[in-house]
Amino acid sequence: MKINTCWLTTTLLLSSTAFAAPHWGYTGAEGPDHWASLTPEFAACSGHNQSPVDIKGTIKSALAPLAPHYQAGATTLINNGHTLQLDYAPGSQLTLDGHAFTLKQFHFHAPSENLIQGRHYPLEAHLVHASEQGELLVLAVMFEAGAANPLLTEAWRQLPKQVGTPVSLARPLDVRALLPKGLDYYRFNGSLTTPPCSEGVRWLVLKHPVTASQAQIDAFKALMHHPNNRPAQPLGARTILE
């Protein structure tokens, strides 16, 4: 999937101004069951390769080891009304299939959007990447309740309660603090999990969860006021590799 840079900046990165009309959400007439009918631009939300999914019935495969080259680069925090997003400065990349994907931003969903063997996790982070050609890759990390996460400890000190107002962080945060030691993963083809639900996205879901404190999880949920997870979508003819 190829997406121009302007579209990527304003839409993929979930900016507060993207899709000012129509409004979409997670409940009622604007909820996930109705996204595809809100506007023609959201038609892909009724597609056959949608995310998230329930990860089960996987196929063993010789997946290439992940070797992300990340550095501290989260500089801006924004509550866009749908999630809490940290925008990332250029310079951090993940290489897959011979392509370099640059980390653009990461954001959160509670409870998790993807399931593993039918199980929801209390929190999921999505690290959103794009190649120079506009191809998209999302690396997903699951959280269990436990020890506090150091990155969340720093970020949550400046939680922006006002929707649409970016907050400049006191110092760049390092996304590596969100990653488990082991980077084994599941892989499948999918879509963005929010409108416009564009397909052709490479999905990598890490097998090993990390921890966040219950207080950190609760603080995010309180900021959102409601669950912000799209329900799992039919897998259809797709396969999930591990």
Using CB atoms within 10 A of its CB, is residue 124 exposed (0-12), middle (13-18) or buried (19+)? buried
Strand runs labelled E in 72-122: 74-79, 84-88, 93-96, 99-109, 115-116
- Rounded-to-integer distance, Cα 50 and Cα 63, Å: 22
**Which phi and psi angles does 240 have, rounded to 5°?**
-115, 120
Spot the catalytic one: 23, 48, 82, 107.
82
Q: 13 and 213 in contact (C-beta within 8 Å)? A: no
DSSP characters for 52-76? --EE-S-B---PPPP--B--S-EEE
State yes or no: is 82 an active-site residue. Answer: yes
Strand runs labelled E in 177-218: 185-191, 199-206, 210-212
Torsional class of 225: left (φ above 0), alpha (ψ -120 to 50), beta (otherwise): left
User: Mind telling me the catalytic residues?
Assistant: 82
